[in-house]
């Protein structure tokens, strides 16, 4: 039987993966007792895991239940606006610091996203999309920037994987990734910033045009 600390980590990792992949959907309820039963452990490590997810904003508390968070369009736009500034900073620095090995990694992600887009596999594309942006942030060597963007991308994934509408943007988004990659590869910092800014602004405009609470689409 796993130790209490290990069980807590296992529960945290599994539930977080299920939330971000939309296996657990917005407003779904979790209870300490049922989660403990499913993992074959006691309630204490399960409570610790649920509280970690609560602190990260992936769950909210309603009485005894822990409920998967719901994110509105307005909150998503706010997240993207914060991302817009930070991702542009990331692209600017990356154009000066990125290594050949890191460029090769980005190239591989773009090809993998092309394959996912061709299969209309939104979940795979979304995960790769976040990995692409975070790989750029990692190449800057700025751990503070990387940490903030990691948390923002988790919030983005919470909605992306629940919204079929995002499928319509897969191919265009990957063309924009290609433009960002090429600017960074050529060490063109100003162009990299412009391409990143345009890329994220396109999603913001798409969100504004939706006019509905995106997380409700999955419930209709």
The verdict on residue 219 lying in a domain is no
pLDDT tens for residues 109-139?
999 999 999 998 888 888 899 999 999 999 9
CATH code, 119:
1.20.120.530
When divided into structural domains, the chain yields a total of: 2
Residue 99 pLDDT: 98
The verdict on residue 19 lying in a domain is yes
Select the more confidently predicted residue: 175 or 210. 175
What is the pTM for the complete model shown? 0.78
- By CB atoms closer than 10 A (0-12, 13-18, 19+), residue 158 is buried
Per-residue confidence at 168, pLDDT binned at 50, 70, 90? low
Contacts of 117 (CB under 8 A, 6+ apart): 125, 170, 171, 174
89/192 same-domain check: yes
25/125 same-domain check: no
The verdict on residue 216 lying in a domain is no
29/116 same-domain check: no
The verdict on residue 178 lying in a domain is yes
25/92 same-domain check: no
Query: Of 25, 41, 68, which one is at a domain's C-terminal end?
Result: 68
Name the phi and psi angles at 74, rounded to 5: -65, -40
Residue 207 pLDDT: 78
pLDDT tens for residues 14-58?
998 888 777 888 889 999 999 999 888 888 999 999 999 999 888
Structural domain for 46, as ranges: 4-68
What is the residue-averaged pLDDT of the chain?
Answer: 87
Query: Of 68, 100, 121, which one is at a domain's C-terminal end?
Result: 68
195/92 same-domain check: yes
């Amino acid at each position: 039987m796993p130790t209490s600390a290990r069980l807590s980590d296992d529960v945290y990792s599994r539930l977080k993966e299920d939330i971000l992949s939309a296996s657990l959907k917005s407003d779904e309820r979790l209870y300490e007792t049922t989660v403990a039963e499913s993992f074959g452990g006691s309630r204490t490590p399960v409570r610790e895991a649920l509280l970690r997810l609560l602190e990260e904003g992936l769950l909210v508390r309603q009485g005894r239940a822990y409920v998967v968070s719901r994110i509105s369009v307005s909150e998503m736009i706010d997240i993207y606006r914060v991302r817009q500034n930070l991702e542009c900073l990331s692209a600017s620095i990356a154009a000066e610091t990125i290594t050949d090995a890191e460029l090769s990694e980005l190239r591989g992600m773009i090809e993998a996203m092309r394959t996912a887009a061709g299969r209309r596999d939104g979940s795979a594309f979304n995960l790769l999309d976040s990995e692409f942006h975070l790989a750029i942030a990692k190449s800057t060597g700025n751990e503070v920037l990387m940490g903030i963007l990691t948390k923002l991308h988790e919030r983005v994934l919470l909605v992306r994987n629940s919204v079929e509408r995002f499928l319509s943007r897969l191919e265009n988004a990957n063309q924009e990734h290609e433009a960002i990659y090429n600017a960074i590869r050529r060490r063109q910092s100003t162009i990299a910033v412009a391409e990143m800014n345009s890329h994220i602004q396109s999603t913001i405009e798409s969100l504004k045009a939706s006019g509905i609470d995106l997380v409700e689409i999955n419930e209709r």
